[in-house]
Structure 1
Amino acid sequence: MYLRFQPSRQHSLLSSNQETMMHLRTLIFTSVILPCILSSAAKDEHLEPRNSVNDLIIPDYEGDQEAKELPTCLLCVCLSGSVYCEEVSPEMTAVPPLPKETAYLYARFNNISRISNRDFADMVTLRRIDLSGNIISVIEDGAFSKLSNLEELTLAENRLTKLPVLPTNLVSFNANFNRLRTQGVKATAFKKLTKLAYLYLGNNELTAVPQLPESLHVVHFHNNKIATITDETFCQGNSSHYIRTNMYEVRLDGNPIQLSSHPESFICLESLPIG
């Protein structure tokens, strides 16, 4: 009887072990492997490429302009519509891209050599530009023509031999200490600037005085090469009743002209020219 029982007991133990292993495998599958499979499937679904253009998520960069502005405002000082780029290091050789709300630009004492039509093309908010102390020798003719709000333009201490077309609403224009010549300044360059009150063209190479608008208060032509003027330069030679009431300061000192030889040329002025 013992001999018959032993194989049966071994068989029973073997069956029990197999059953235990099956339970263990099931447990491992349900608790470890199955969650991993489900997680992987979910991840694959999440990363699946989208074929529809409408499903694409495209970042909205309204700040493209701001991205362009950032280097300028790191290089210069941007403050409440004003940009200060004075004596920038490393050397600034061109007008930098400006924030779209810029009203005042001070880019003095740099190495800017040229002003192109692109530099201020979309900057209608500009009211004042100061580019003193650069090495500007060329300004493209349309560089300032679209700046309808520009009131003050300073180009002193540069290397200009001629002037571009100027915006019509200028109140003050300063081009002292350049190399301006009469052939580079049209006779009517300022005539249509009906708001121009201050005109500074001292220390240049001008041989004649251009036509001057009635709005002028102050005009400086000192240290040029002006050798002669006419009765029409400041006054109206055919009228002894005409008085230029706005103009109270004229500088002609440092020119080869003898003012005493032209007494009728200043009869309309309320004060004699300096020089």
Structure 2
Amino acid sequence: MKTLFFAFMLLLSLPAASARRLRRDSQLIRGSVPRRRLTGLVSYNFKSRRRTPRSDDDPTAMTPIGGNADGLPTCLLCVCLTGSVYCEEVSPDMTSVPALPKESAYLYARFNKIKKINKRDFADTVTLKRIDLTGNLIAEIEEDAFSKLTLLEELSLAENRLTKLPVLPTKLSSFNANRNLLKTKGVKANVFKKLTKLVNLYLADNMLEAVPTIPESVRILHLQNNNITDVTIDTFCKASDNYYLRPSLSEVRLDGNPVVLSKYPDSFTCMKVLPVGRYR
């Protein structure tokens, strides 16, 4: 009898246990949790999953700071590579020398509408080794515009409107002022004298009336298509030294000038080659 009694009580307790389990499990079903508690859970989950911002996620990190910001406008208009700035045929028109990033070594600003070079244009970029300003509208260069460029080796001012030359850096090895409006009075007698490393000197297609003083180091000299009317013994050689030789001067062009070179045979005795030009 006892066995039957316990079996009967067990059967009665099963439905009640099932009901309690159903109520407990219903809390895991979507929508069964009260709205207030659900909101709290969702909020907690979003907060717990939120990624801690890294320094490179900071929007301000996209904006260069310090010295980089100063060079940004130029590098938007031009192409800036490591140490080089290319500003050729810039649109809208570039009418002045652009502000250069620090430690720039090479500037190519050809075929723009730059009209003047000021002293301050290169004052903060003393690392420049090459400047090419070919094909601009430059009519004026302040006297000390290149004075701080002690590392400058190549300078091209070809195809501009210059009537005179400023003081040039002493380390230049190549200088090009072809196709300007230069006259002898605008080229000081000693403008090239201190350029002891100058190898290539291009002054063609100007209005020079005389050959300027040429440094001993020059190998290539282009003076064609000027208004040069005569040369003397001291133009290339030394009247006081009959044994003086100038073997480094290997190419001289005087063609397109009024001078008749055959009238001055003693003017080229120190040279290993005769100048190209008019002989009769």
TM-score (norm 2): 0.75
Per-residue Cα deviation, 1:176-201 (whole angstroms, up to 9, x for no partner): 00000111000111011000000000
- Per-residue deviation at 1:62? 9.2
Per-residue Cα deviation, 1:188-228 (whole angstroms, up to 9, x for no partner): 11011000000000000000111111000001110000001
- Per-residue deviation at 1:119? 0.3
Gaps of 5+ in 1: 1-60
* SS of residue in 2 equivalent to 1:78: strand
Separation in 2, partners of 1:240, 1:78: 53
Partner of 1:273 in structure 2?
275
Amino acid at match of 2:71: E
Amino acid at match of 1:262: Y
Once the two structures are superposed, the pairs formed by residues 121-270 of structure 1 within 5 Å of their partners are 121-270=123-272
Partner of 2:104 in structure 1?
102
- Per-residue deviation at 1:68? 1.6
Per-residue Cα deviation, 1:8-42 (whole angstroms, up to 9, x for no partner): xxxxxxxxxxxxxxxxxxxxxxxxxxxxxxxxxxx
Separation in 2, partners of 1:65, 1:93: 24
Once the two structures are superposed, the pairs formed by residues 47-62 of structure 1 within 5 Å of their partners are none
Amino acid at match of 1:237: A
Separation in 2, partners of 1:187, 1:209: 10
Amino acid at match of 2:138: I
- Per-residue deviation at 1:63? 3.1
* SS of residue in 2 equivalent to 1:204: coil
* SS of residue in 1 equivalent to 2:71: helix
Separation in 2, partners of 1:252, 1:206: 11
- Per-residue deviation at 1:241? 1.1
- Per-residue deviation at 1:121? 0.5
Separation in 2, partners of 1:172, 1:241: 28
- Per-residue deviation at 1:65? 2.6
Indicate the percent of aligned positions where both proteins have the same amino acid: 64
Separation in 1, partners of 2:213, 2:260: 20
- Per-residue deviation at 1:122? 1.5
* SS of residue in 1 equivalent to 2:70: helix
* SS of residue in 2 equivalent to 1:232: helix
- Per-residue deviation at 1:240? 1.9
Amino acid at match of 1:70: L
* SS of residue in 1 equivalent to 2:119: coil
Partner of 2:80 in structure 1?
78
Separation in 1, partners of 2:67, 2:271: 51
The structure 1 segments of at least 4 consecutive aligned residues displaced by more than 4 Å after TM superposition are none
